[in-house]
Amino acid sequence: MKYAWIKQHRGEFTILSMCRFLQVSQSAYYDWLHRIPSFREREDEQLSGIVKKVFEKSRNTYGTRRLKIAMFHQGLSVGRRRISRTGL
């Protein structure tokens, strides 16, 4: 969250002053900024869109168990805990 705040306000303050204020190193901020998302993170991003569509199609009534079953019928094998991590 600190890094996202720095990125959001980088036009108002210098990177150095914000890093010092938030007690993070500049190198850690730049590592975060240029980091490439992992395969799992990219996959979870796609999955969250699918889960959201299935959830909205159910008129926002399905829980993780029913979402898992509905997604299985679409050919996707996803665990309940992974569905819950998508953060409906």
Terminal CA-CA length for the chain: 20
For residue 23, the model assigns a pLDDT of: 97
Mean pLDDT of 11-26: 97
**CA 79 distance to own-chain centroid:** 17
Residues 43 and 80 in one domain: yes
Side-chain half-sphere of 51: how many Cα atoms within 13 Å?
A: 24
Residues 7 and 23 in one domain: yes
How wide is the angle at C-alpha 61 spanned by C-alphas 51 and 70, nearest 5°?
45
Considering the domain architecture, whether residues 44 and 60 belong to the same structural domain is answered as yes
Considering the chain, what percentage of its residues have pLDDT values greater than 70? 100
Mean pLDDT within 5-19: 96
pLDDT value at 88 more than 80: no
Across the chain, mean pLDDT equals: 95
User: Based on the structure, what is the number of domains in the chain?
Assistant: 2
Q: Return the structure tokens found at 33.
A: 């900024």
Q: Which domain holds residue 65?
A: 39-85
